[in-house]
Structure 1
Amino acid sequence: MMTNAAGGGWGLLFMAVLIPGFHHQRNDSSIQTGSNSKAQIYQPVLQPSESIPPIGMYTLRTRAGKPCIKASMGAEFIVIEKKTWYFNLDPSRVQTTGYCEKQAALMSLTLPDNAASLQFTFRKEKDVFYVTKITAHVSPLPVCQKCANKTYSGLVDHEKLFKTTDGRSFKCKSENLLLMSSVFNVKLVPLQIQAFTVPKGQYGKEVECWADFNRRVIPIVIGATVVGLILIAVLTFLFIKDRRRQGYESL
């Protein structure tokens, strides 16, 4: 037994000397592989210019599997750090969580490693629902090499946003700019949202936001006013012309 062990030892020494790159590794379970590698942490990258945010479709269900919140939106995070920076929420990375009760509900859209989040708190009063609170944060990569890591956060509280009757959806194609803090804003565009009662997981009858209503109606009103003024001018001209013609007639 001693002779075999010694022979094995001389054989390993011979191979280590003659064969480049040969290393003898102990069969020891205490050796940790990849101990020098660091876990990759997801961090958003701020951009110097705006781009159209991708639209995400989000649905929150009760424990029984019944849809209780349905939302579709594009979300843009705006950070003011010496200049204005932008980050679009990536729907493919978002995890949707929250809860639904009879008169209160919450939907949270969160990126991996809690790198960014957007949270809506809903309230229901009789047959009306609205968003009473919105919170958001983003923890991006620093915008410069010597810049420190920062988390930008803020909230909009005690509001009655996106108000509509139960069973209907609030829809707005225009921009909804939320002033979260002095250095952090969130822009939602477009937006459609419905909470508490979502029959078969489908949106109910749409309630148009004021911004969309004004964009649609104001041009019509302006156009009608212009046409009316032109018509008045033409009629006035014809009336004056007719009066002048009558003045030249012989008595």
Structure 2
Amino acid sequence: MLCFRFCPVPRLELVLLCLVLGAARSCALELNLTNSEKATCLYAKWQMNFTIHYETTNKTYKTATISDHDNVTYNGSICDDDHNVSKIAVQFGSGFSWIVNFTKQEPNYFIDSISFSYNTEDNITFPGAKDKGIVTVHYSEKVSIPLNDIFRCSSLLTYEENHVVQHYWDVLVQAFVQNGTVSRKEFLCTKDKGSTTVAPIIHTTVPSPTTTPTPKEKPQVGNYSVSNGNTTCLLATMGLQLNITQDKIASVININPNSTGFTGSCQPQTAQLRLNSSIIKYLDFVFAVKNENRFYLKEVNASIYLANGSVFSIANNNLSYWDAPLGSSYMCNKEQTLSVSGTFQINTFNLKVQPFNVTEGKYSTAQECSLDDDTILIPIIVGAGLSGLIIVIVIAYLIGRRKSYAGYQTL
């Protein structure tokens, strides 16, 4: 354990403890802020990390992960009980700052907002960044906590805003400590209330080999395209939901098209669509031509940043999905599962793709998947009805014959 103690500023005294956890690759910060009477007025302990998705000068996208908080200062942290406001302000690294604002309205206090700022002038953290300068991301939060309780959230809290993903866990905070004594009465966050297992690790669901991830709402549908010169050569429209299992922990990730970049390439026999974002290093869909007259999804490669700081990578070049004739598109509006491996599946929603022979940037006539083809229900219903009728006739015939035999025996 490494311990850092910083010199007090006027009327304030602050102690920060930084525990370097190899698995989580992040800092546990502990703050004890005192007033002029040397009494504790704000207490907080938490862990956090950030992933930032940014565009480079060569029009590609990169991701910076901020998990080690060095050279920490605390300028601007206050606990002003007389004016019903408190604030945690932390500065660290090269141009990073993080601020949480609290307000008091008896009998409660509120976590109002979270702000995170970073400076893309730092070429070490943001190599090749296209836009230079300080960027600030604001997230409005309105969590109400009883004034005499300490807020606790051991579960992972994730906020995504403007290409920045913020992760918080193992959170303890009492923004308005009463009479200088930190409360022992805990107010649990919603995620902790619904969890029977609380563990000091980053997780999205309870780590059990038999549990499944908590279902999420359907992902937003995005439109993606690849150009060859001035001509569009690949079109894709789809909502994507990633299902990952690593170390017995299941994660569900909905891809947000508004914060997802896309590139790719088109060749006569192959075509590639690559997606990337703050949490997706890359997600490749590789299409191929078969028998000179059809296309299909042949390969999926992925490298994804998980909440615990690790990277999940997978590749499978022996797939056979989304098969359709060349010159047409493939469509599947209903939810479809693409199984890449035993630990990685992709659920698609409102899918439509055309990786070859795109004309005037528009989709050609679509071949629908079997899930969308409702016409198949008609022969199934007719067949079921005929089968039922035949069974009834056979049963009636057998009953009739039994009665005839009974009559002959009586004679």
Could you say what secondary structure the match of 2:383 adopts?
helix
CA distance 1:228–1:115, change in 2 (3 Å): closer
Cα–Cα, structure 1 residues 89 and 207, in superposed 2: closer, same or farther, change >3 Å? same
User: Residue in 2 aligned with 1:78?
Assistant: 243
Aligned match of 2:87 = none
Q: CA deviation at 1:230?
A: 4.5
Residues 178-217 of structure 1 show CA distances to partners (whole Å, capped at 9, x for unaligned) of 333443322222321101211122111111224444x652
Kept in 1, the 8 Å contact 2:321–2:338? The answer is: no
Aligned to 1:120: 285
1:170 aligns with 2:334: no
How much does 1:49 deviate? 2.0
TM-score, structure 1 as length reference: 0.67
Q: Secondary structure at the match of 1:159?
A: coil
Aligned-pair CA distance for 1:227: 2.1
Change in Cα spacing, 1:178 to 1:44, as seen in structure 2 (3 Å) is farther
Cα distance in 1 for residues equivalent to 2:95 and 2:260: 30
Residues of 1 paired with 2:262 and 2:389: CA distance? 57
Listed one character per residue, the Cα deviations across residues 140-167 of structure 1 (whole Å, up to 9, x for unaligned) are 322xxxxxx2111212212332122221
The CA deviation string for residues 27-61 of structure 1, in whole angstroms up to 9 with x for no partner, is xxxxxxx9452638844875752221111111111
| Percent identity of paired positions between Structure 1 and Structure 2 | 25
- Paired position in structure 1 for 2:132: none
Q: What letter matches 2:251 in structure 1? A: W
1:228 aligns with 386
- Describe the SS at the equivalent of 2:385: helix
CA distance in 2, matches of 1:44, 1:206: 40
Query: Structure 1 counterpart of 2:263, which letter?
Result: T
Alpha-carbon distance between aligned partners in 2 of 1:185 and 1:128, rounded to the nearest angstrom: 24
2:14 corresponding residue in structure 1: none
| Greater share of helix | 1
Contact 2:319–2:340 (8 Å) recurs in 1: no
Aligned equivalent of 1:18: none
**1: distance between equivalents of 2:235 and 2:302?**
19
Q: Which residue of 2 aligns with 1:37?
A: 96
- Asked if the contact 1:75–1:187 (Cα under 8 Å) also holds between the matched residues in 2, the reply is yes
For residue 84 of structure 1, report the CA deviation from its aligned partner.
Answer: 2.5
- CA gap of 1:137–1:186, structure 2 versus 1, over 3 A, is farther
Does the residue aligned with 1:53 lie in a helix, a strand or coil?
Answer: coil
* Aligned-partner Cα distance in 2 for 1:178–1:229: 35
Q: Specify every segment of 5 or more residues in structure 2 that has no aligned partner in the other structure, as ranges.
A: 1-92, 98-117, 119-136, 138-162, 168-203, 206-212
Task: Name the structure, 1 or 2, with higher relative contact order (CA <8 Å, separation 6+).
Answer: 1
Query: Pairwise mapping of residues 45-60 of structure 1 onto structure 2 (< 5 A)?
Result: 48-50=213-215, 51-60=217-226
Structure 2 partner of 1:10: none
Secondary structure at the counterpart of residue 201 of structure 1: coil
Higher Cα Rg: structure 1 or 2? 1
Matches within 5 A, 1:90-101: 90-101=256-267
Distance 2:392 2:341 in 1: 54
1:234/1:115 CA distance change after superposition, 3 Å: closer
Aligned partners of 1:116 and 1:89: how far apart in 2? 13
Identify if the C-alpha distance between structure 1 residues 133 and 233 changes in structure 2 by more than 3 Å, giving closer, same or farther.
Answer: closer
Q: Distance in 1 between matches of 2:388 and 2:234?
A: 50
1:139-218 matches, cutoff 5 A: 139-142=305-308, 149-213=309-373, 216-217=375-376
Structure 1 residues 191, 156: CA separation in 2 closer, same or farther (over 3 Å shift)?
A: farther
- Root-mean-square deviation (CA), in Å? 3.4
Matches within 5 A, 1:59-70: 59-64=225-230, 66-70=231-235
Hey, which of these two has a bigger chunk of strand by percent? 2
Distance 1:179 1:234 in 2: 43
Match of 1:87 in 2: 253
Change (3 A) 1:183 1:123: closer
Aligned residue number for residue 138 of structure 1: 304
